[in-house]
Chains A and B, each alone.
Chain A
């Protein structure tokens, strides 16, 4: 019987990979999830999972290039050692998932088929139809069930994580959670805890995320003293189907398989799409970005679609904004084989067959690149030190963060099909680190001070009870406050950000937070009370919302998904070569100056007394690949690149000088 015990919170790809790996290492695992783990939000990931592979290698690809695409796509805000480690693990991760039975699509000869995704020129993406996340999750779910049947893992499904348990030294000694059926609150003592609780899309009301992605688990760690990093970096996916309850994802794989985005050149052209001849169609991504075409990185595709509707007035629909995503030129059999899952979603929810008629899509909040701050140890070769206890440990000792709720891998913008990879990778990679951490501890889960445990439970019980008693005279409704929060956040902190709007939103969110603390519940019962569970998660959305807004306000630049038009770097205007060269020099000067100031992770600490995040900044480890301008589609990109290369070359000549 194992004498190490870890509690894993969250049963998506990261949490399951972690539980499974820890069980293999002989650790007893308590797995806590809001939902049966098989229903976790990872099921919604569609397109695939990236790694360089035998085919791309022969075209010049390798792990380093996957690393480089990831940090370039992320606008160099990613710490580079973790990204490098992930890129080098990627082929191994996919091979393991293949062994676990994931039904990846196959080539005629029986090898794994690959498709191309955004932000790269190589076909790195392995996929299982258009439900890759679901298939990967199921494979891990099955292994966890197997370990559960062997007695190594105990699952606690429909349990809500309420907060970490910390001893007098601040070390995490387990978690407190609540049974969502019986409403029992209890302690789960452990030697270490892993938080793998995903993103925070519900802060925006509607997004592509599942209803459990409230960010409240990360927020509860944040409020307990964990740092939250790069909150303002929220990915808005270019293509989603608008809906009144949810914005349903339409995978990037639709473009990876040849889907084309267009609008009629004539505003509000009333003809049916198939009656509009090619000459009257504006394939704006292909025209503006000839190299990457429809597969530019997500932040860029999103801004272009937003821009074409909002500023150019070329939305297909007059009532609601959307553009065409067109697959109708691709043979039906191929579509069914490679994209069946997502086409069914469109057909089921829109009542239109996307094989016959182009889909109508618009951007939607999709992923949080930021998340809980966590540490890592850099290895001699520039990757991560395998087994180092600090890998992925938050600033609360013994509390680990992995998967979407960490902040390491995707910088300012995530590349498609890298998230499934980062989730599984972090789950597997941190196993030995956690075991080594526990080995170094003198006290374990069995000898935690009883007062520490009961104190942590009674604190949560008090919060619960006071919500049920309610605020006499208040009629604040948590569901309506949530709608208001979503509207404010969506308006101020998605595709385009302006300081006046952010300032205004901060004020409104502050007011709304005060109101949310006074909600009055329509259900005050003590059995399966979803009302009180939602009220708690709503209250806990505010620290995250404030970190997003505050981080965005303080960052006066454009970087990846964070776009402030007032601080956009201009295209080159001069025609004269010498003048143009001069402009390029100035452009590069400005770029370097901006990096000195803003190439930093935003770090938020939560001050519970004032209910406000406090911001500071952390240098980004760019020691492996020096940052360079991201020039997709910019006028004058060629000459800027030339100037930049010369500078980089000059720097290389005197390496000792560049200590930063």
Chain B
């Protein structure tokens, strides 16, 4: 390429290598796509261009790559995938920045800890189920008008707000060495309900994940949420709870919202210890 001025010193094309998979349990395979370079692209636009083209770099007609996205401004948590080997949101993955690190190609893969539904789309129901396990809600009496909630100091709000920004994107669990993929195959003669039950049982025994621990701490720090703090700590001392954390600290490093997950985990560690001792004395 002949570069006459710095602005022209840009690639003509972008090579995008995508790990594809036609359905659950099927063999993954790679495809290479080539799209025209434009300034200020993000990975979402790249995938949109690929969908419109539906052709690989050697001109073979293929189906559009399947992926999940929503808000495109990093608040919904939908578009998580592995980009150049790192789990992150694809909307905020800017192509110009990615090309600085690897000018040859972009590599897109699905998240590694969830069953692939198709291509870059994975099944993250387990993430949300974990929020149920730790009862991540305020147990209000009713939705009738009962006046305002308790007054809260600014310091408390400032502690809770960052935790409350967790968008259940799954980056933290994807990077966590203690969080393992669970992919069950449906047995013959198993009904939808039976299969769902078996899945939920498997999830329940496995590590709940940093996001859920952090949500438990969020609600245990709320004036009304606190009223079931013990139940949340019970969940965190059960199998798959806090003791499964190996303190690798990958979670906090990859969190796109920079949520202090390890601080939450440390708080949960102390709280569960005290909770267990107290329960032992109360026996």
Contact = CB atoms under 8 A, between A and B. Distances in A.
Given A38-B167, A479-B52, A525 B138 contact: no
B281 interface: no
A444 B262 CA distance: 51
A477 B160 CA distance: 47
Nearest to A94: B148
B23 A135 contact: no
Nearest to A104: B157
Contacts of A129: 161
B69 interface: yes
B42 interface: yes
A527 B22 contact: yes
Most chain B C-beta atoms within 10 Å of own C-beta, residue among A39, A128, A477, A480: A39
Chain B residues touching A, majority SS: loop
B224 A106 contact: no
B219 to A, nearest CB: 7
Contacts of A244: 38, 40-42, 45
B51 A479 contact: yes
B128 A522 contact: no
Interface in B43-97: 44-45, 48, 51-52, 54, 61-64, 66, 68-78, 91-92, 94
A142 interface: yes
A21 B138 contact: no
A580 to B, nearest CB: 49
A98 B22 contact: no
Nearest to A246: B72
A43 B71 contact: yes
A480 B131 CA distance: 40
B72 A210 contact: yes
Contact of B48 (A98, A149, A341, A479): A479
A110 B48 contact: no
A95 B128 contact: no
A525 B167 contact: no
B70 A39 contact: yes
B168 interface: yes
B73 A349 contact: yes
Interface in A269-314: none
A460 interface: no
Contacts of A107: 154
B132 interface: yes
A522 B71 contact: no
B9 interface: no
A245 interface: yes
A99 interface: yes
A439 interface: no
B152 interface: yes
Contact of B149 (A99, A211, A212): A99
A101 B222 contact: yes
Interface string A100-115: 1101111111111000
Contacts, number: 187
A109 B161 CA distance: 17
B242 to A, nearest CB: 21
A100 B40 contact: no
Nearest to B127: A36
Contacts of B36: none
What is the size category of the interface that chain B forms with chain A?
35 or more
Interface string B145-157: 1111101111011
A39 B63 contact: no
Given A39-B77, A142-B137, A528 B71 contact: no
A43 B63 contact: no
A601 B107 CA distance: 51
Contacts of B69: 211
A99 B138 contact: yes
A95 B131 contact: no
Interface string A5-27: 00000000000000011001000
A128 B161 contact: yes
A96 B147 CA distance: 7
B149 A44 contact: no
Contact of B151 (A111, A139, A243, A530): A111
Interface in A511-532: 522-523, 525, 527-528, 530-531
B184 to A, nearest CB: 16
Nearest to A39: B76
B92 A134 contact: no
B40 A243 contact: yes
B142 A24 contact: yes
A373 interface: no
B152 to A, nearest CB: 5
A98 B124 CA distance: 29
B113 to A, nearest CB: 17
B111 interface: no
Contacts of A108: 154
A531 B73 contact: no
A210 B70 contact: yes
Contacts of A527: 22-23, 118
A167 interface: no
B169 to A, nearest CB: 9
A157 B142 CA distance: 26
Nearest to B40: A244
Most A C-beta atoms less than 10 A away, residue of B38, B91, B165: B165
B139 interface: yes
Nearest to B257: A344
Interface in A83-99: 92, 95-96, 98-99
B167 A145 contact: no
B282 interface: no
A463 interface: no
Nearest to B258: A344
A39 B145 CA distance: 27
A337 B155 CA distance: 11
B225 interface: yes
A345 B225 CA distance: 30
B153 A528 contact: no
A35 interface: yes
B224 to A, nearest CB: 7
B136 interface: yes
Interface in A200-215: 210-212
Interface in B200-232: 219, 222, 224-225
A35 B160 contact: no
A135 B91 CA distance: 21
B158 interface: yes
Given A134-B167, A349-B94, A480-B52, A41 B152 contact: no
Contact of B224 (A101, A128, A530): A101
A98 B149 contact: yes
A14 B52 CA distance: 33
Contacts of B61: 522
A103 B156 CA distance: 9
B164 interface: yes
A43 B41 CA distance: 23
B165 A131 contact: yes
B224 A525 contact: no
A245 B50 CA distance: 13
Nearest to A89: B145
B213 to A, nearest CB: 16
A337 B161 CA distance: 10
A36 B154 CA distance: 31
A131 B157 CA distance: 14
B7 interface: no
A522 B153 contact: no
A148 interface: yes
B154 A110 contact: yes
9 contacts: A39-B76, A43-B70, A99-B148, A103-B164, A243-B42, A345-B75, A479-B51, A522-B62, A528-B121
Given A92-B145, A96-B146, A146-B137, 16 more contacts: A35-B76, A95-B145, A98-B148, A99-B224, A101-B219, A101-B222, A107-B154, A111-B151, A131-B75, A131-B165, A143-B137, A145-B137, A212-B70, A244-B38, A345-B73, A349-B73
Shortest 3 CB-CB contacts between residues of A and residues of B? A142-B137, A522-B54, A523-B63
